């Protein structure tokens, strides 16, 4: 089957019961998405499918042919981090880092559809992800950092009128 991952077309042979998370980690070597539980409760394995975060540990790879999948590896590059990645790196949003890919995927999905979320909306959007290190406060700071960064970026892109 063909998986469209991070803008690339990848061809793999998978059993019908192969989980998307295992296909990403083991067949494609994209180990950034993590397994933290076995029952869709932690969010460490979250990836974007057509812009919506899903839990790849409870998704069958075979169901995602021709869907656009973005994993943590596709958020930005070492040359240019995504503002969300920058936020989590700079503001302490990543301590042990294990839940971070899932949190960044959830954050990315939130900011793509709502660039100015309220605190409650941030809490809501991240409520499917568990972090055991931070107590969430620095994760909120990380999200706010990304919001500011994105705002500055879009302001720079809008040509000055008048």
**Binding residues for other proteins (CB under 8 A):** 25-26, 30-42, 44, 71-73, 75-78, 81, 85-86, 88-92, 94-101, 104, 122-124, 126-139
Closer to other proteins at the Cβ: 137 or 155? 137
Closer to other proteins at the Cβ: 23 or 91? 91
Closer to other proteins at the Cβ: 3 or 155? 3
Choose among 34, 40, 39, 150: nearest CA to 100. 34
Closer to other proteins at the Cβ: 68 or 141? 141
Q: How far is the CB of 160 from other proteins (least distance, A)?
A: 33
Q: How far is the CB of 39 from other proteins (least distance, A)?
A: 5
How many angstroms separate the CA atoms of 10 and 93, rounded?
A: 31
Q: Assess contact for 102 and 42: CB atoms under 8 A.
A: yes
Q: How far is the CB of 158 from other proteins (least distance, A)?
A: 27
Instruction: Strands of 28-142 (E only): list them.
Output: 46-49, 52-55, 68-70
How many angstroms separate the CA atoms of 113 and 68, rounded?
A: 17
Q: How far is the CB of 109 from other proteins (least distance, A)?
A: 15
**Please, what's the largest Cα pairwise distance for the chain?**
59
């Amino acid at each position: 089957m063909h998986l469209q991952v991070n803008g690339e077309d990848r061809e793999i042979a998978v059993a019908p019961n192969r989980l998307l998370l295992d296909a990403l980690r083991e067949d494609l070597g994209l180990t950034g998405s993590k397994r933290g539980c076995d029952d869709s409760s932690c969010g460490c394995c979250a990836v974007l499918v057509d812009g919506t975060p899903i839990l790849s540990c409870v998704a069958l790879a075979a169901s995602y042919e021709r869907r656009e999948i973005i994993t943590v590896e596709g958020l930005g590059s070492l040359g240019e981090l995504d503002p969300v990645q920058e936020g989590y790196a700079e503001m302490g949003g990543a301590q042990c880092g294990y839940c971070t890919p899932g949190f960044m995927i959830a954050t990315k999905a939130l900011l793509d559809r709502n660039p100015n979320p309220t605190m409650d909306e941030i809490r809501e959007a991240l409520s499917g992800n568990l972090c055991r290190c931070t107590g969430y406060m620095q994760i909120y700071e990380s999200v706010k950092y990304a919001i500011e960064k994105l705002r500055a970026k879009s302001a720079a892109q809008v040509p000055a009128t008048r």
